[in-house]
Amino acid sequence: MKLTRRERREWRIVLWIGLASAVISGYFGLAIAPDDEHPVRAILLGVLTSLLIATPISIVEARRARSSTLRRLRRLPLALYLVVKVAFYLVVIVFGLVASRWFAAWTADREISFDAVFGSSLVFAVAMSLVGNLIIEIGGLLGFSTLENLLTGRYVQPRREQRVFLLVDMRNSTGLAERLGPVRFHELLNWFLRDISDAALECDAEIHKYVGDEAILTWPIDRALTDGACLACPFMVQDIIARNRERYRSRFGVVPAFRAALHCGEIVAGEIGDVRREIAYVGDTLNTTARLLEAAKSMARDILVSADLLQQTRLPADLRAEPLPTLEVRGRSAPLGIAALQRRSAPGREAVEQAAEDAFR
């Protein structure tokens, strides 16, 4: 069975956490081993302990966003959620330590013992689990690419980059919020943004940030122009939402729709902020993309793309671009050439149903 990019990303996270913890635990096992313990055996026991502990914890942490049971646990009061999480960590850690010590005793034909080394290993395993969990939490909050850039200092000094931006904005979000109420609308928005994230992963896009009911996706221009994946991305969002149509209907009584805009150009990227830092993209390109999204709303078009981007990338075979009148953009000396992106195939039954729902609303 072919894995999605989200699934491959999850397994990469598990792999890297496993490798890092194995190296550190192998060194720790060597450092605390008794004098009569062979060094290779001490290292292997440290690695084994790491695999028994880090693997189940990292799998749960990496996949929790897609597990309905784990998402329900996250909605518990924070104190209760932390109690459940700590209990799970302790069970896994104690099991891993006991299993590895049993294996060590069995292979050496001696009695299993719980001595000072076991206590040191318990403290070390708890500390490692907390550090690993902290990294996963920060990576989930900032995005792992942003976290990597912050740690490596890539954007400590502002730098010029050529990038493609895709803005995706939920249609009729105000009406949906009034209809569903703030709590259920927040849940709908979370589902909607999760579907956008799935499409972003499949199209190799970076999720720059969420702004209310809008998502900002971006690619380095060389990666975006390789196969026209940036142009196909909003249609992949449509496909994923359509695939989850019945789940949306049963939970919220509505299927979300959106408008999107694509543009490319030069920006300046750099760290910004003091108390809270983030990587910001500054320049005319992102502002122009926002104006293009506004034009999509006023023109009643679903997906608009700039002529600048169309001229530099290959249009996927199943898409067509309908040229539109140029757009006057404040701050630009020349009008912006634009086009509406559409699929070549005629809309099916689901598209007709969606149009009926929009008309009803």
Q: Is the pLDDT of residue 191 over 80?
A: yes
**Cβ 306 vs Cβ 325: under 8 Å:** no
Give pLDDT tens digits for 238-289: 999 999 999 999 999 999 999 999 999 999 988 887 777 778 888 889 889 9
Q: What pLDDT, on the 0 to 100 scale, is given for residue 177?
A: 92
50, pLDDT greater than 80: yes
Return d(Cα 202, Cα 236) in angstroms, integer.
8
CB 238 within 8 A of CB 341: no
Query: Residue 105: pLDDT band by 50, 70, 90 thresholds?
Result: confident
Dist CA 237 CA 341 (whole Å): 14
Count of beta carbons in the 10 Å neighbourhood of residue 117: 15
What's at 330, amino acid-wise?
Answer: R
Structure tokens that stand for 156 in this block: 């400590």
The residues spanned by each domain of the chain are 5-142, 154-360
What CATH number is given for 154-360 in this structure? 3.30.70.1230
